[in-house]
Structure 1
Amino acid sequence: MNIWIFNHYAIAPGASGGTRHYDLARELVKHNYNVTIFASSFTHQERKERYIPEKHLRWKEEQYNGVRFVWIKTPAYKKNDWRRVANMLSYTIHAYLLGKKRKEKPDLIIGTLMHPLAALVGCLLAKKFNCTFYFEERDLWPQTLIDLGKVSERNPVVWMLRQLELFLYRNARRIIVLFDKADKYVAQQGIDTEKVLYLPNGADLQRYEQQALLSADLERLFASLENKLIVTYTGAHGIANHLDPVLDAAGILKDRNHHIHFLMIGDGPEKQRLVERARKEKLTNITFIPPVKKEEVPEILLRSDVGLISMQDAEIYKWGFSLNKMYDYMAAKLPIVLLCQLPETPIETSGAGLKVSNPQEMAQALQWLAINQTALHQMGEKGRFYVESNHSWEKLAHRFINVIEEDLSYGGCDRLAVAPVQVGATKEGRKLNI
């Protein structure tokens, strides 16, 4: 069975960023599926050309552990301006043309919304090949942009995005969502929730079963932090990541507890401002680190003591959340300190850490953990049990395969009237829980 995945920002091993589709595809390959991921050769996290250094090439095909990647050369950009828009349009056009010219016929196409045009390419090609189309809505566009204050609901672009979202909903055999309550969001758009497939993010647990060496700089850093409580954040440094409260907590602790140190790993549009703020406030208990390879993340977390998450008080989170970093922390048995305003989160239900509502509480929680090694250990074990039970890619892929087999046994995207397998009742209808 041939599966095509269109994800503009997908990455392969050795790069920095999320590996959701590679991890899923690698498990599918183990079950004799052929998986091809169409992605840009210019990496969004690193803001550089990684996969096609040759100037004369416009695309390249490579294979990683049985997973095929079709890399598409797109223009470079440094920030969210017209150059990034040009990058999106370039990917959209060339991904469609390359898919159209391929000799093999896909059985299933997954179009993922990191931006909506990639999902549209998947939908159009599914129609051309008369195959099944799954629409994966990674973020609830355009609602996420509205709730995070990036655009006004009256913006004409929002209206266009709404229409595109509805088009993709209506033409998909399945609507894949990452948030556990997102089926209610889909229902609000007038779409039957029988289409909804809940497939959250997960963790590759095997990456956390062995120790590894880090770069010389990281080895020196960890050696300098021996006997300190290492509090680590991994991921993007953007407005949505709400990292100022972390610096607030560091400011509270810098003179109060010299045995707590923060590591901030990653990049993003807010990073330089945060680095400058830390310098001005003389926050010597915080170290900013550039993006690292995905393969280095497990070892960094295994050498840390606490994982950190800070979330905006935004309406969008009422539909739930599925953060890669949360499952990575759990896989490494790191207790989590989560700053958010949500009434209930997996941190409380699993017992994997502490939820706080402001920087003062964050500082207090870290001080408490610094002197309670038993609590650190117990929370870490509970988090590991939770991710093993609910978010290992091996289990997620197995359940996903069951859905694919059920859907494709009915034919293709011309059979949308056939009722899908139903698991997990909701008030609006039924959704599949993976």
Structure 2
Amino acid sequence: MHLLIVSQYFWPESFRINDLAQEFVKRGHEVTVLTGIPNYPKGKFYSGYNLFSHSEVWQGVNIIRVPIIPRGKANAIRLSLNYLSFMIMGCLLCLLRCPKKFDALFVFQTSPITAGLPAIVLKKIYQVPVYFWVQDLWPETLIALNKVKSKIALGLITKFVKYIYQQCDVILVQSRGFIDSILNHGISRDKIVYLPNWAESLYLKEVESVESPAVHFPEGFNILFAGNLGESQGLETIIEAAELTKDNLQIHWNLLGEGRVKEKLQQQINEKELSQTVHLHAKRPIEEMPAYFKACDTLLVTLQDNFLFRLTIPSKLQCYLASGKPILGALNGESAHILKESGAGLVADAEDPKQLAAAALNMSALSEHKRQEMGELGKVYYQANFSREECLSQLESLLPQTKHSEPCVV
């Protein structure tokens, strides 16, 4: 099978679609990715890339890049230009670069949903099926983050979302909580398939000390939040919880990653005089993350408290579960249910710093044996519900099995 993946984000940006593409190549399929020029999350092109970056091959995956406007500091205007530039250039260049030599189109739909339009264009011209993997709900994401207030604009976006969904042959959802939203757009239940995110296989391997990067956490009990430092994560809750535990110098809150609120977090740390117990770390390559997970005492996942994030499963949760470490959560809905059902950690309500601070202190007071037990329960739950091999095999079984010999023009 020759699969064309359409995704605004791809390697060297760190997204789950990288692992999917790489694994499908290993399974004997031909994979081409139509994507933008990497600039997430810092908003500027990665070193070695520019507007004229055209094509490359990574791990056997053919990559076609289209010129886009980088995110910059991710204000409303720059984000809109970033989203629209990929949609427009993707629609134009996909026709030039990709003749009818693929069997299916697969869209990895994080925000924005506009990134799916090039796949719809190709479907109409070449009559191939579209598989649309929904990671973020639209327009719910815009409403939840208060990005669009105009009822007219929201109405137009809702119509666009409905059009995209109607053109898809199969709609895959990363959370069962997404299903009702998609049904509300008039989509048949038969078109919707639950396909959760999984953890890359490196999280399931034992970390060998000779291969591990040097990880330097402060002496004491280290809590690690790893991933995007954005608005939806509700990171103010962590700062406020840290303020409540700051007299306990053994409790350390570590935030590792990049994102639009990182500067604001540093300001809050300075203003609240939390530098002894709250530590910001630069983003690290995904290959190093298992070593960081192993070095901490517990992992932390947080989300804002609103209707959308009660339905969402943040992709880091599967990585946390697979790693076999205990987990602290400050979230509601689907993700909180998973943590409670698995027994993998302690859960506070979203945006409740008092509960999170109490959970952190309770976790630190547990014996090492009890925390290890929690981690093992999480790993068992991961294998039973989010197994990488089973998820990928499920997707593979849904896709056409015809195989072409000629690739897209790269």
* TM-score for both structures, normalised by structure 2: 0.89
Return the offset for 1:104: 5.0
Taking a change above 3 Å as real, the CA distance of residues 206 and 265 of structure 1, as seen in their structure-2 partners, is: closer
From 70, 87, 95, the counterpart of 1:92: 87
Once the two structures are TM-superposed, the CA of residue 405 in structure 1 deviates from its matched residue by 4.1
Distance 1:42 1:28, change over 3 A: closer
**1:126 and 2:123 aligned:** yes
- 1:48 and 1:204 map into 2 onto residues whose CA distance is 26
Residue 29 of structure 2 is aligned to residue 37 of structure 1: no
Is 1:67 the counterpart of 2:64? The answer is: no
2:259 maps to which residue? 268
Q: 1:5, 1:109 within 8 Å by CA — same for their partners in 2? A: yes
Alignment deviations for residues 347-387 of structure 1 (CA, whole Å, 9 cap, x no partner)? 01111111112222222222222121222111111111122
Task: Measure the CA separation in 2 of the matches of 1:125 and 1:160.
Answer: 23
Equivalent residue number for residue 189 of structure 1: 185
The verdict on how the C-alpha distance between 1:93 and 1:342 changes in structure 2, with shifts beyond 3 A counting, is closer
1:258 maps to 2:253:
no
The one-letter amino acid of 2:118's match is V
- Deviations 1:256-292 (Å, cap 9, x if unpaired)? x221111111222222111111111111201011222
Q: CA deviation at 1:394?
A: 2.1
Q: Which residue of 1 aligns with 2:147?
A: 150
Which residue is 2:162 aligned to?
A: 166
SS in 1 for 2:224: strand
Note the alpha carbon deviations across 1:79-106, whole angstroms, 9 max, x for none.
Answer: 2242332232322232223321224522
Q: Is the aligned partner of 1:349 residue 2:341? A: yes
Matched, 1:179 2:170: no
Cα distance 1:134–1:73, how it changes in 2: closer, same or farther (>3 A)?
Answer: same
Matched, 1:289 2:285: no
Q: Determine the C-alpha separation between the residues in 2 that align with 1:303 and 1:70.
A: 38
Contact 1:27 1:394 in 2 (8 A): no
Stretch deviating more after TM superposition (202-211 or 382-391): 202-211
User: Which whole-Å CA distance do the structure 1 matches of 2:204 and 2:296 have between them?
Assistant: 13
Verify the 8 A CA contact 2:91 2:117 in the aligned structure 1: no
Cα distance in 2, alignment partners of residues 388 and 62 from structure 1 = 34
**What amino acid is the match of 2:370?**
A
* 2-structure distance, mates of 1:71, 1:109: 16
Q: In structure 2, do the counterparts of structure 1 residues 84 and 342 end up closer, same or farther at CA, with 3 Å as the change threshold?
A: closer
| Structure 1 residue aligned with 2:317 | 326
Q: Would you say 1:46 and 2:38 are equivalent positions? A: no
- Residue pair 1:52, 1:71 contacting (<8 A) in 2 also: no
- Checking the alignment, whether the CA contact within 8 Å between 2:34 and 2:90 is kept in structure 1 is yes
2:287 matches 1:277:
no
Kept in 1: contact 2:301–2:329 (CA 8 A): yes
Gaps of 5+ in 1: 410-434
C-alpha contact 1:42 1:75 (8 A) present in aligned 2: no
Look up the match of 1:241: 233
Q: How far apart are residue 52 of structure 1 and its match?
A: 4.9
Size of the aligned set, in residue pairs, is 393
- 1:136 Cα deviation (Å)? 2.5
What RMSD, in angstroms, separates the aligned Cα atoms of the two structures? 2.2
Task: Determine if contact 1:120/1:168 at 8 Å carries over to the other structure.
Answer: yes
TM-fit CA distance, 1:7: 0.9
Structure 2 residue aligned with 1:430:
none
* Greater Cα shift, 377-386 or 334-343: 334-343
Matched with 1:390 is 385
Distance 1:85-1:214 versus aligned 2 partners, 3 A rule: farther
Does the CA-based 8 Å contact 1:106-1:129 persist in structure 2? no
Distance 1:206 1:341 in 2: 28
Mapping of residues 419-430 of structure 1, within 5 Å: none
Could you say if the C-alpha distance between residues 81 and 150 of structure 1 is closer, same or farther in structure 2, counting changes exceeding 3 Å? closer
CA distance in 2 between partners of 1:27 and 1:394 (Å)? 10
Partners in 2 of 1:23 and 1:173 — Cα distance?
23
- Residue 170 of structure 2 contacts residue 193 of structure 2 at CA under 8 Å; is this kept in 1? yes
More deviation in 138-147 or 94-103? 94-103
| Counterpart mapping for 1:199-238 below 5 A | 199-209=195-205, 210-211=207-208, 219=215, 221-222=216-217, 225-226=218-219, 228-238=220-230
CA–CA distance in structure 2, aligned partners of residues 363 and 150 of structure 1: 30
1:336 and 2:330 aligned: no
- Opposite residue 343 of structure 2, the aligned amino acid is G
Deviation of 1:51 (Å): 6.5
Runs (5+) with no aligned partner, structure 2:
404-410
Aligned residue for 1:381, secondary structure, equals helix
Identity of aligned residues (%): 25
